[in-house]
Structure 1
Amino acid sequence: MTDVTSSGAPARLYSQTPYDDRGNFHYQGDLYRPGENLATLAARIEPHLAGCFPNASFAIRTEKFAGGRKIIAEILNWPEDLTDRDSQESVQVAIRDQMERFGFTRTNPLQDFWSCSFYCEARIGQSYWAALAKRNGLQNPVDTVMSLAAFKKQVKAGDALTLVAAPSGHRARGTTRAIIKVRSGDLILEGKSYLSFPRASAFACDGRFVRISIGSEYDPDAHLLYEWRQQKTG
């Protein structure tokens, strides 16, 4: 199992901090900076996580809402199998502990009180399940001859996609739909349906077949396999 501790970590991490006998909880991380804006905070957290977990990769994104602000660390790749719930929880706690070092939290559930510099979440992304499936051996593998960026430039309205393979029970398997419109984030297909573009790591195209990974902890190798038929010109 990957060592999820950091040699530079303080003596007590967020998950190790107890409530007192009155229900008070107070934690302030050793890397906390008062008044730090969200973009700067996220920019500091990203390389810190990379240093703590060098064999993993993350995507960091931020959110703002009426109740505060949030930083999400999405796990794109991790060296071990995280299909077991205990493994998932252990890794997520370790990542959150490192993120919490950049902030503070004061709370008392008995008084319905909560104050923190930011909320944080460690999330296992779909890209992780795609990477795990690749390590374990893919069904219907497709060579990555064409990148997602190149596919977006080449696919056109009038082309067609036939869904060749999909998870069991998928009602559209075997159907062919023409592409009505190409947008930055998805394809609009006939029949009032659409196909969202995945992350680049979950996409493979050899010029004829398109494979999109949609795996989860229940089926890491779940995917959609399309045959791409380009409209003839001239």
Structure 2
Amino acid sequence: FSLSHAVSRVNSFLYLLLDVIGVCTVLHKTMSTENNVEIMNTNAPKTSMLWRRKMKTYFDSLDKRGSGYIQKSDFVRRFEHIKRVYRLSPTVQEAFNHILLTIFWGEMATCGVDTGDSRKVYFHEFVTNTSMNLIPENVQVFKKVLEYLVEVFFKLINMNEDAGLSELEYKEFLGIFGLDKHVKNAFESIDSNHDGSISRDEFRKAFFDFWLGQNLGVGVYLLGRLV
């Protein structure tokens, strides 16, 4: 790639990441309307067994120690993997690190309550906190966050910047979570028209279904086989 092309890619990436940070701030304010975790937990919506299995698959991909809980350091390790594989510029690295620690750790995992290094989030709490994004007061903002995350991750994964993701590119993405051995299962389930690549629209549908869908849908195997 030319230098100008590389700079353009970095700038477009950065603008997306900054947008996500802005939307995440709104999400934090929205979810902070509740006074504390105990109150929020009583308002947690009912979720399906399938949705909880998806969350367990994601949770276990972070809890590589098998300790039963996740910590901030688990998200830092994911960031280190992304930085190593995708060779992001320092500016984009900083923004991406902020996204992982602000959205995936600070909002989804902890619900904004005690996000420090020693904080431990067990699976039951993780499910409760993440499900709070699904209540009517929060879900529209959460969908907006997901929309930006789709753009960010699709741009991250799509190394050659063509119209779709190859199986190899998706394997690299699953490698972030240590789930690359499940790429065949994941790729074939998302590639709904079976043309050998995952379009942005196919990725978006799968990403949304994984986080929002309560029934069997195109995003069930976003991260491969369910645990």
TM-score calculated relative to the size of structure 2:
0.29
- Whose strand proportion is higher, 1 or 2? 1
- Structure scoring higher RCO (CA < 8 A, sep ≥ 6) equals 2
TM-score calculated relative to the size of structure 1:
0.28
